[in-house]
Amino acid sequence: MSKLKLTDLPEKVRTRRWIESEICYQERQGIHTYCNCTYCGNRSRGGCCVDCWRGVLAELTEDE
């Protein structure tokens, strides 16, 4: 499986604010239904895990 890349995301999602909010969502405590990340297979609360979101954030930081 491959990691999520910035270019895989829709244009409106390619912002620091959006990506950081997804990281917070993935890290939030509580009762959750987990699934496997679409990109790497790790556990996630949605289609993409926190590790993949952090990778995209790193890409965004490099582009700035």
Return the pLDDT at 33.
Answer: 80
Which run of H or E residues covers position 20? helix 16-27
pLDDT digits (tens, 9 = 90+) for 1-49: 677 899 989 999 999 999 999 999 998 877 778 899 999 999 898 889 9
Question: What's the pTM value of the predicted model, to 2 decimals?
Answer: 0.82
**Three-class SS state of 14:** coil
7 is written with which tokens? 């270019």
Return the pLDDT at 47.
Answer: 86
Beta bridge partners of 35: 44
